[in-house]
Amino acid sequence: MEKPLLPRESGQFIAERSRDVFVEDEGVEKMAEVLYSLRHSDDLTASGWKKANPLAPAPTSDQGSALNWVFVVDTMNFSFWPEKETQQCEVTYKGTTYTGYMTLCAAITRAMEEGVPITDPKYFSQMSVEELGHILRSDNETPMPMLRERHQVLTEGGRALLEHGGSFRTFISQAGNDARKMVELIVEKIPSYRDEATYEGKRISFYKRAQILVADFWGIMEARGQGDIINMDWLTMFADYRVPQALVYLGALRYSDTLMQVLKNGELLSSGDRREVEIRGCSILCVELIKDRLCKLVQERDGQPCSVNSVIIDFYLWPYAKQHHKEMAHIPIHHTRCIYY
């Protein structure tokens, strides 16, 4: 079978043929200006990642356990949107109630405090669905979606780690310190990370969770002063359902009226649907263009080399979308139930 195009090339290929999603140059320009004004702030650094996720392990905590925590969370990091906005799964931890992706982080951290060895691959590679259900239990009547799928991918991921040294650190070290090789290794060894589709007869890829796993690994290593990972700028944004919404809201991406209506009607798009692929692919290209424009501004105005990559822009856009979700409510997210995002 032919190898799929890589995420950046996939974004380009899709955007050139897209029928319902369009990158808007004016919006790209505006976004680059906004990010340029933030270029000296923490929002545009790897440490912005830790700020965006207060539940991530402290950089000073045990490295092996912190990296396994990231692996467990990223392996199950998909599909948190609720069937009805009023029925969100919630997890309260240390007095704060979390929804969405943060319910997963809170549930895993809560389990660790309860003495469950959830970051040990020996445990999570053979845990039962019931055990995981207890760990991910909601504090209201709405459970976290897709429990069986989360169980399947986590036990599969645990077995992969056990076959390669027994921890995420030993597993990922096979790729040296190269971000691209890390993504390729994860995708090759762990089936649930193979986020691929066919578009206009061509195999394409997004590798959203594989890229996030590498970026989170970098975030933790960077915070420990060990983030000398090469090829970080090979990674693209992480094509999910939250960042495209922010890009449309900020005018850098546009949906056709037909697609906007489909999304407003709450229609479910299956994984691999042409429109779903266009939303994800055009988001990737859009962030690439914002990054290129931003780097041009930095070079022209400051005479400086540009250190911002697509990951850092994603680290900015995702919390932005979370914080402004009320203002963005008139722009619907697309709904796809799958294990890829």
The string of DSSP letters for 257-308 reads HHHHHHHHTTPBPPTT-HHHHHHHHHHHHHHHHHHHHHHHHIIIII------
Query: Do residues 183 and 196 make contact, with C-beta atoms less than 8 angstroms apart?
Result: no
CA dist 218 and 200 (Å) reads 34
Residue type at position 188: E
Catalytic residue among 74, 195, 216, 240: 240
CA dist 330 and 272 (Å) reads 25
Burial 103-141 (b: 16+ CB within 10 A, else e): bbbbbbbbbbeeebebbbbeebbebeeebbeebbebeee
Query: Do residues 193 and 156 make contact, with C-beta atoms less than 8 angstroms apart?
Result: no
Q: φ and ψ at 45, to 5 degrees?
A: -135, 170
CA dist 314 and 332 (Å) reads 19
314 is a catalytic site residue: no
Residues classed as catalytic: 240
